[in-house]
Amino acid sequence: MTAEAPVVLRMRGVRKHFGATAALDGVDLEVRRGEVHALLGENGAGKSTLMKILAGAHTPDEGSMELDGRAYAPRGTQEAARLGVAMVYQELNLAPDLTVEDNVMLGRERGSVGFVRRSDARPRIREALALLGRSEIDPRERVAALAPAARQVVEIARALVFEARVVILDEPTSSLTREDAERLFAAVDRLRQSGVAVVYISHFLEEVVRVAQRYTVLRDGRSVGGGATDGTPISSMVEQMAGRKLEEFFPKTPHQAGEVVLDVRGLAGVRMPREATLALRRGEIFGIAGLVGAGRTELLRSLFGLDGVRKGDVQIRGETARASSSRDRLAQGMGLVPEDRKHEGLALALSIAVNTTLSNLKPLASWGFVSSSRQEGATRRWIERLGIRCRGPEQVVGELSGGNQQKVAIARLLHHDASILLFDEPTRGIDVGAKVEIYKALGELAAAGKSILVVSSYLPELFGICDRLAVMHRGVLGAARPIAEWTELEVLDEAIRGDGARRAAAGEEARP
Amino acid sequence: MTAEKPGSARRLMTLVGPFLGLLGVIAFFALVAPEGFLSVYNFKTVATQTVIVGLGAIGMTFVIVSGGIDLSIGSVIALSSVACALSLRAGQPPVAAALLGVLTGMICGFVNGLLVTTLRIIPFIVTLGMLGAARGLAKWLAGEQKIDAPAGWLADVMTKAPEPAWLTVSPGVWVMAALAALAAIVLRRTIFGIYTFAIGSSEATAVLCGVPVRRTKIQIYTLCGLFAGLAGVLQFGRLTVGDPTTAMGKELDVIAAVVIGGASLNGGSGTILGSMVGAFLMSFLANGCNLAGVPNYVQEILIGVIIVAAVALDSLRQRKK
C-alpha cells in the first residue's frame, strides 16, 4: 500500500553549513502519505539540523524541498506550520499552567475583541484526541496535571487540529515508560492511518522497526541508506549508522595504567544512574558510551558531588569518600568539565584568568588579596601549555572559540592540580582542529599520571582515545573491557539494547 | 600586555558612559539653573547629599554584581538611625551609638542573606519582606515619632562647614570616598570579590569550582547591610533626630545609581567607581531640579525614566555582544 502512496515530502541534495562546519552535506529524503518514516543516525549525524530545516527554523544553503509536489521553502516555523509541517519537540513545547485547549490554540486563537472563543475549537480538539485514541484527555485540564505521555499526545493533537500533513516526532519515547510508549505507538499508528506522514526520530531501533514502515539513515550529514523496515535486520541498520572508518586524527601519547585511584561500587543517584560500578586507574583514559539520556552525565555529576547519591560506595585512592559537595571533591583532587560549557562549565562574562584560577585562588593570595601578577602568571603558563589562542589572561572567555573555551576549562583542572579528571562530552560543538588538540591534551595528561573518565556520544572519539570502555544503558553501566575488545557495532548494540543480549549469547549468568 | 586590552582599561571604557551622563547632567543644569548651580558651595552641598545614597550604592554594588538585589536599604537606613538615636538617648557615647547603628544594619543584611540561601527564596522577595519588616520595626521602636537625642560629634560628620576648614567637604564625604576606594579594591582584588563576580556571572560555575556560594552570599548581604547601617548613622547625624520614616524609597535611588554606573542586573558586572558616579548623577539631578524650581514629582518621574533608560542601555550592550 505504501508503495503506491504519493510522496508528500521530498528533499533533494539539501546542504547546510554553519561557519566552516557542514551540518548537512547532501541529504535526500522522501516521505509518503500515510507512512511513518524513521530518521536514523548517531548523535551529530545531522538529524536535528534536518528537522529544523523541515520545521522552518533554518533555511538550507543548497538543495530543494517539495511539499505535495510544490516547492517548499518556509521562511520561519510559523510559515512551515501553516503549510502543514508540524514539529513535536523532544523537550515539549507546552505551557504547563495553561489548559490543553489553550495550549493547542496558543498563538492561533480566534476570538472577538480580544476574548477567546473556546467553544469553537473544543470540538475539533476532542476530535483530534479521539483520533489519537486518547479521548479521555479533557481539553479543559491543565497541562501540568497530565502525564508526560499525555502531553506528547496534546502536542500531536495540536498538529492534527491545524491539519498538518507532515508531523515530525523527535525522540518521542525518550522520557516515557514502557506502557506510555505503547500508547504513543498506538496514537502514531492512528495518525498514520488518517493519512498524515510522520517523520519519526529515535535511537531505539526496536521501536523504529515496530512503528515505521520505511527509514533513512544519516551519517556525517549525508543520507547513506534506507528502505523498508520490514525485512531489514536491526544489525544492518546499526551498521549503516556506524559504518565509518576511524578517522586518523587521534594522536596517541603512550601511557601506562597504574593502580586503581577511583573505585566506584553500585553507585545510584536520585534518579540516574541506577547502578554504576567501575574502577579507574592511574594514567588511564576510561570511556563511557551510551545514548543521550542513559544517565552518563548524571553518573559524572553524582561522582563529583553535584547530584545526590542514593547508595553505593566511592573510594578515592583507597579511602572511602563520603557523599559530599563539589568543594570536597575538588579538595580530594577530582575535577569535572561539564557538558554545558556556556552555563555551567565557564563563567563566560569573566576573564580567562578568573576562570582558570577560580577553584584554587588561595595559593595566589595573601591575606585574602589575590595578587594579579601571580594570577596572570599562572594563567599564562596554562595558556602556553595548552595552546589557548587568546589576547591574554584578561580576555573574556565568552569571546573565545568553543575549542579554546574548552581548553580554559581544562586549564582550570590543571591549575587545581586535580588528578582524577571527569569529562562530559569534551569535544561537543568544537571544530575538528580543536578536537585533535583536546585529544592530544587528554593523552598527555594520562601520560603524566592523571586518571581520566570521558563520557562521549561520538564513538570514533572514544575508540580513538580510550584505554578501556564501558557502555551505559538506561541508567546501568555495563562491564568495562579494553578498547581492543570492542567493536563500534557492539558498543552501539549495547547502548541501544543493553548488555543482556550479549551476556545471554556468551552464556554468562551474571556480570563478574 | 601590548597587544591585549588589559582588564583595567576595559573597565575604564565601561565608565565612559556614566561619566558622560554625569557631565551631561551638570552641563544641562548649568544652562537651565545658572544661579548658584555652578558654585563651589553648591558642589559641596551636592557632595554631602550624595553620602547616604553613595554608601548604600557601595554595598548594593556587591549585591548586584553577585546577581542579587536588596530592596530593604531605605528601611534599614531608617531602622539604624532610630537604633542610633535610642542608644544616644539612653546615654551611650556617640561611638557606641554609631557602632550599634552599623550593627543593626549588618544584622538586617545577615538575615537577608540567610533567608536567600537557606530558604532559597529569590532576593527580590526576601528583601521586599525586609523592606516592610525593618520599616515597621523602626516605627515600633521609635513609637512612631522622631527621636531627639544628643547627637554629639555625630552632628558634625555631615556638616557643610567642617572643622578643621582644610577638610573642605564634610567628613561624611571623606568617609564615603575612603570606603569606596577600599570597597573597589575588595571587589576587584580579593578572593571574596572574585567569588562575588563568579556567583553573579554563573552560579552553576561557581558551584562547580567549589566556591562556597552560601557563605559568600551571606557575607555579601551582610556587607550591604553594614553600608546601609552606616548610612543610617550618618542620616541621623544629618537630621540629628532618629526618624523612622526617613529614606523612604531610597533603595530606588541606590539601585539607580548602581545601574547607571554600569552594573548589570543580571549580575557579573559592575564597578564601585561607576556606582559612585551614578550616585553623584542622582544627587546633581535632584539638586539641579530644586534650583531650577522643578517640582518634586517631576524629579520622581525623571528618576523612573533614568532607571529604565539605564537598564535598556545595559541590555542593548549585552545584545551587541
C-alpha distance from residue B12 to each of A55, A397, B5, B17 (Å): 46, 19, 11, 10
Q: In the numeric block, which cell numbers belong to residue A383? A: 595558556
The angle that helices B7-32 and B272-291 make with each other, rounded to 10 degrees, is 0
Judge contact between A377 and A357, C-beta under 8 A: no
Confidence at residue A244, expressed as pLDDT on a 0 to 100 scale? 47
Confidence at residue A250, expressed as pLDDT on a 0 to 100 scale? 74
Q: What is the ipTM of this complex?
A: 0.86
Confidence at residue A5, expressed as pLDDT on a 0 to 100 scale? 84
Tell whether the model's pLDDT for residue A175 goes beyond 70.
Answer: no
Residues 6+ apart with CB under 8 A from B38: B30
C-alpha distance from residue B217 to each of B66, B111, B130 (Å): 8, 11, 16
Tell whether the model's pLDDT for residue A101 goes beyond 70.
Answer: yes
Tell whether the model's pLDDT for residue B312 goes beyond 80.
Answer: yes
Confidence at residue A406, expressed as pLDDT on a 0 to 100 scale? 92
Counted residue by residue, chain A has a size of 512
Percent over 70 (pLDDT), chain A: 89
| A401 vs B239, more confident | B239
A363 to chain B: closest CA residue: B191
Structural domain harbouring B211: 50-248
Confidence at residue B2, expressed as pLDDT on a 0 to 100 scale? 35
| B234 vs A173, more confident | B234
Confidence at residue A91, expressed as pLDDT on a 0 to 100 scale? 61
Task: Report CA A30 to chain centroid distance, whole Å.
Answer: 26
Counted residue by residue, chain B has a size of 321
Choose the closest CB to A368 out of B6, B190, B212: B190
Query: Cell match 484526541: residue?
Result: A129
SS3 content of chain B, % helix, strand, coil (to 5): 75, 0, 20
Confidence at residue A506, expressed as pLDDT on a 0 to 100 scale? 56
Q: In the numeric block, which cell numbers belong to residue A191? A: 495518525
Query: Cell match 520561519: residue?
Result: A76
Q: Is A316 helix (H, G, I), strand (E, B) or coil?
A: strand
Q: Do B205 and A398 touch (CB under 8 A)?
A: no
Helices (H), A325-431: 326-331, 352-357, 372-386, 402-415
Sorting pLDDT into bands at 50, 70 and 90, what band is B61?
A: very high
Judge contact between A152 and A92, C-beta under 8 A: yes
Judge contact between A380 and A412, C-beta under 8 A: no
User: Which chain A residues have a beta carbon less than 8 Å from that of B190?
Assistant: 365, 368-370
Residue B30 resides in a domain: no
Q: Is A11 helix (H, G, I), strand (E, B) or coil?
A: strand
Total domain count, chain B:
1
Sorting pLDDT into bands at 50, 70 and 90, what band is A245?
A: very low
Sorting pLDDT into bands at 50, 70 and 90, what band is A459?
A: confident
Judge contact between A349 and B269, C-beta under 8 A: yes
Query: Cell match 555579601: residue?
Result: B220
Sorting pLDDT into bands at 50, 70 and 90, what band is A360?
A: very high
User: Which chain B residues have a beta carbon less than 8 Å from that of A326?
Assistant: 207-210
| B138 vs A109, more confident | B138
Q: Is A479 helix (H, G, I), strand (E, B) or coil?
A: coil
- Find the mean pLDDT for residues B255-276: 92
Alpha-carbon distance of A317 to A302, in angstroms, equals 18
Judge contact between B274 and B206, C-beta under 8 A: no
Cβ neighbours, 10 Å, residue A332: 18
User: Is the link from the previous residue into A273 a cis peptide, with omega within 30 of 0?
Assistant: yes
Q: Do A330 and B206 touch (CB under 8 A)?
A: no
- Among residues A201, A187, A135, which one has the least CA distance to residue A159? A187
Q: What is the mean pLDDT of chain A?
A: 86
Alpha-carbon distance of A135 to B66, in angstroms, equals 50
Beta strand A276-281 with A319-320: parallel, antiparallel or unpaired?
unpaired
Q: What is the mean pLDDT of chain B?
A: 90
Tell whether the model's pLDDT for residue B3 goes beyond 50.
Answer: no
Tell whether the model's pLDDT for residue A461 goes beyond 50.
Answer: yes
Which residues make beta-bridge pairs with A40? A217
Tell whether the model's pLDDT for residue A98 goes beyond 70.
Answer: yes
In B69-172, which ranges are E strands?
147-148
Percent over 90 (pLDDT), chain B: 67
User: Which chain A residues have a beta carbon less than 8 Å from that of B207?
Assistant: 306, 326
DSSP characters for A233-249?
A: -HHHHHHHHH-----S-
Sorting pLDDT into bands at 50, 70 and 90, what band is A167?
A: very high
In B109-185, which ranges are E strands?
147-148
Confidence at residue A49, expressed as pLDDT on a 0 to 100 scale? 86
Tell whether the model's pLDDT for residue B7 goes beyond 80.
Answer: no
pLDDT tens-place string over residues B167-176: 888 899 999 9
Residue B6 resides in a domain: no
Residues 6+ apart with CB under 8 A from A113: none
A87, burial (CB in 10 Å: exposed 0-12, middle 13-18, buried 19+): buried
b/e sequence B105-143, b meaning 16+ C-beta within 10 Å: bbbbbbbbbbbbbeeeeebeebbbbbbebbbebbbebbe
- Find the mean pLDDT for residues A260-266: 95
CA atoms within 13 A on the CB side of B82: 24
Beta strand A166-170 with A197-201: parallel, antiparallel or unpaired?
parallel
Confidence at residue B4, expressed as pLDDT on a 0 to 100 scale? 42
Choose the closest CB to A343 out of B6, B204, B210: B204
Confidence at residue A111, expressed as pLDDT on a 0 to 100 scale? 57
- Torsion, Cα B43 B45 B49 B51, to 10 degrees, reads 70
Tell whether the model's pLDDT for residue B159 goes beyond 50.
Answer: yes
Q: Do A394 and B4 touch (CB under 8 A)?
A: yes
Alpha-carbon distance of A40 to A251, in angstroms, equals 30
Q: Is A389 helix (H, G, I), strand (E, B) or coil?
A: coil
A466, burial (CB in 10 Å: exposed 0-12, middle 13-18, buried 19+): buried
| B182 vs A270, more confident | B182
pLDDT tens-place string over residues A316-352: 998 888 767 899 999 999 999 998 888 899 999 899 9
Query: Cell match 542573606: residue?
Result: B113
Q: Is A401 helix (H, G, I), strand (E, B) or coil?
A: coil
Alpha-carbon distance of A183 to A179, in angstroms, equals 6
B8 to chain A: closest CA residue: A394
Judge contact between B273 and B180, C-beta under 8 A: yes
Confidence at residue A243, expressed as pLDDT on a 0 to 100 scale? 61
DSSP state of A342: I
Confidence at residue A43, expressed as pLDDT on a 0 to 100 scale? 64
Residues 6+ apart with CB under 8 A from B127: B69, B70, B71, B72, B112
b/e sequence A176-202, b meaning 16+ C-beta within 10 Å: beeebbebbbebbbbbbeeebbbbbbb
Sorting pLDDT into bands at 50, 70 and 90, what band is A20?
A: low
Query: Cell match 555582544: residue?
Result: B321
DSSP state of A351: B
Q: Do B202 and A343 touch (CB under 8 A)?
A: yes
DSSP characters for A202-237?
A: -S-HHHHHHH-SEEEEEETTEEEEEEESTT--HHHH
Tell whether the model's pLDDT for residue B65 goes beyond 90.
Answer: yes
Domains of chain A: 7-242 (3.40.50.300), 247-333+418-512 (3.40.50.300), 345-417 (no CATH)
Tell whether the model's pLDDT for residue A102 goes beyond 70.
Answer: yes
Distance of residue A409 Cα from the nearest chain B Cα, in angstroms: 10
Q: In the numeric block, which cell numbers belong to residue A267? A: 553507585
Q: In the numeric block, which cell numbers belong to residue A295? A: 544517565
Residues 6+ apart with CB under 8 A from B235: B52, B77, B78, B81, B243, B246, B247
Sorting pLDDT into bands at 50, 70 and 90, what band is B292?
A: confident
Distance of residue B184 Cα from the nearest chain A Cα, in angstroms: 12
- Find the mean pLDDT for residues B167-189: 94
Q: Do B201 and A347 touch (CB under 8 A)?
A: yes
Q: Is A198 helix (H, G, I), strand (E, B) or coil?
A: strand
Tell whether the model's pLDDT for residue A431 goes beyond 80.
Answer: no
B8, burial (CB in 10 Å: exposed 0-12, middle 13-18, buried 19+): exposed
Alpha-carbon distance of A345 to A409, in angstroms, equals 7
User: Which chain B residues have a beta carbon less than 8 Å from that of A348?
Assistant: 201-202
Q: Do B209 and A358 touch (CB under 8 A)?
A: yes
The angle that helices B171-189 and B213-239 make with each other, rounded to 10 degrees, is 170
- Find the mean pLDDT for residues A160-165: 85
Q: Report CA Rg, chain B.
A: 19
B212 to chain A: closest CA residue: A327
Which residues make beta-bridge pairs with A30? A10
Residue B92 resides in a domain: yes
Cβ neighbours, 10 Å, residue B228: 37
Choose the closest CB to B192 out of A336, A358, A368: A368
Confidence at residue A402, expressed as pLDDT on a 0 to 100 scale? 81
Alpha-carbon distance of B154 to B156, in angstroms, equals 5
Sorting pLDDT into bands at 50, 70 and 90, what band is A490?
A: confident
Alpha-carbon distance of A472 to A268, in angstroms, equals 13
Alpha-carbon distance of B181 to B273, in angstroms, equals 8
Confidence at residue A92, expressed as pLDDT on a 0 to 100 scale? 65
Choose the closest CB to B197 out of A354, A359, A369: A354
* Best mean pLDDT range from A22-31, A41-50, A146-155, B27-36: A22-31
| A181 vs B51, more confident | B51
Confidence at residue B118, expressed as pLDDT on a 0 to 100 scale? 94
- Find the mean pLDDT for residues B97-116: 97
Say which range, A131-140, A365-374, A503-512, has the weakest mean pLDDT. Answer: A503-512
Choose the closest CB to B194 out of A336, A348, A361: A361
Sorting pLDDT into bands at 50, 70 and 90, what band is B88?
A: very high
Percent over 70 (pLDDT), chain B: 94
